[in-house]
Structure 1
Amino acid sequence: MATSSRRTGAETSKTRGVLLDCVEQLMLEEGYAAVTFRAVAAKAGVTSSLVQYYFRTLDGIFLAAIRRYTERNIRHLAEALQAPRDQLPRVLWEYSRDEATSALTTEFMALGNHRESVRAEIAEATEQVRKLQLDALSPGVDGHRFLDQELTPGALLLLIVGIPKFLNLEEGIGVRTAHRELVDAFEQYLGPVQPPVPKSRSGRSPRSRN
């Protein structure tokens, strides 16, 4: 009986994972608006009723997708934060640039503008990640100054994670004036790259815009 229950649980988890894979593929290929019970079912080669068995509502699909995406991000971040403490600002900068240019992140943020439950989930996930980043950064930022002002760990972190998001927002509408200048200046401020730049969750370079 126990073996059968474990097998059933594993199969259930696998099916749910396949459906969420299809959700992500639809969002990447056609945008979040393309995600419907019927579209997910067609992508997975199953019936719409099976999709609704795992996810009762469309919001439920998106919330599950965001939670899984957040879990992946946190694992990726935790690995990156194993770097030496004095290199953490640089590591967080590379991570933030990768995250800001993720196509899925862009789709989830756009979706959050239209669905309150999704917006709340994104906010909660962001706070989780921000706390992890700040806890790692806080012991190692003594002496960091910016524009002749000494930065608190929180202020430094907000610069590190905020600049890539701002640049990506502008690039999304085709504005790139002075972006390279700001990136070059901030990278010079952070100092030379010491550790090898980690690959993103998709396996592409963090600086890729493709």
Structure 2
Amino acid sequence: MQYYFPSLDDIFVAAIRRYSERNMEWLTEELQRRADDPLHALWESSWHESTSALMTEFMALGNHRKSIRSEIAAVTDSMRRVQVEALVAKFGNDARLLADLSFDAVVLLINGVPKLLGLEESVGVDTAHAELIAACERFLDAVEPRAKPRRRSKKAPTRRR
């Protein structure tokens, strides 16, 4: 291993890149497939990402290792750009969504809520989670009405390639 990776950080950075490339490919395909409802596609995919134990471990490593933190920041920025581009494609470049939120703020909200709730659930806290999830889904439905209602599953399916 040392032949290919001079340091432990290099191994982690390579793993983050590989994991992120796979997720980026999947997300890009999903957003293309669901170009008519990108908000709901992002919401549903954010629950899958937030349940990833590997991503949680990468984030913990990033708190202590600058090179890993930098890589996580770079891939997060790339993912968010793709997500914002999907919203621009549907709503137009200058659109502001409910509560006058920018696309960047909407993407942060859509990605952040599942991560926070996942962290709380991992330590046994679930106060007001159902209420917040329902409010977020009403917000999404108000901005991007669905042809047929679909609820997110409690458990995210595992994606293996």
Q: Gaps (5+ residues) in structure 2?
A: none
Q: Does the 8 Å CA contact 2:27/2:45 hold for their aligned counterparts?
A: yes
Using the alignment, how far apart are the partners of 1:143 and 1:110 within structure 2? 34
Q: Is residue 102 from structure 1 mapped to residue 52 from structure 2 by the alignment?
A: yes
Shift in Å, 1:186:
1.3
Q: Larger Rg: 1 or 2? A: 1
Q: Does the 8 Å CA contact 1:81/1:91 hold for their aligned counterparts?
A: yes
Instruction: Give the partner amino acid of 2:135.
Output: A
Shift in alpha-carbon separation, 1:180–1:195, aligned structure 2, 3 A: closer
Counterpart of 2:132 in structure 1 is 182
Bigger relative contact order, structure 1 or 2 (CA pairs below 8 A, ≥6 apart)? 2
Q: Gaps (5+ residues) in structure 1?
A: 1-50, 204-210
Counterpart of 1:201 in structure 2 is 159
Shift in Å, 1:88:
0.4
Shift in Å, 1:194:
6.2
Shift in alpha-carbon separation, 1:62–1:143, aligned structure 2, 3 A: closer
Q: Does the 8 Å CA contact 1:167/1:179 hold for their aligned counterparts?
A: yes
Listed as ranges, the matches of 1:164-183 within 5 Å are: 164-183=114-133
Deviations 1:89-112 (A, max 9, x none): 000001111111111111100111
Shift in Å, 1:151:
2.3
Shift in Å, 1:61:
0.8
Shift in alpha-carbon separation, 1:86–1:143, aligned structure 2, 3 A: farther
Using the alignment, how far apart are the partners of 1:119 and 1:125 within structure 2? 10
Counterpart of 1:118 in structure 2 is 68
Counterpart of 1:33 in structure 2 is none
Q: Does the 8 Å CA contact 1:93/1:161 hold for their aligned counterparts?
A: yes
SS for the counterpart of 1:52 is coil
Using the alignment, how far apart are the partners of 2:65 and 2:21 within structure 1? 21
TM-score (normalizing by structure 1): 0.64
Q: Does the 8 Å CA contact 1:55/1:61 hold for their aligned counterparts?
A: yes
Q: Does the 8 Å CA contact 1:101/1:168 hold for their aligned counterparts?
A: yes
Shift in alpha-carbon separation, 1:64–1:53, aligned structure 2, 3 A: same
Counterpart of 1:136 in structure 2 is 86
Question: How high is the sequence identity, in percent, across the aligned residues?
Answer: 49
Shift in alpha-carbon separation, 1:105–1:122, aligned structure 2, 3 A: same
Counterpart of 2:8 in structure 1 is 58
For these two proteins, the number of residue pairs brought into alignment is 150
Report the aligned-residue RMSD.
2.4
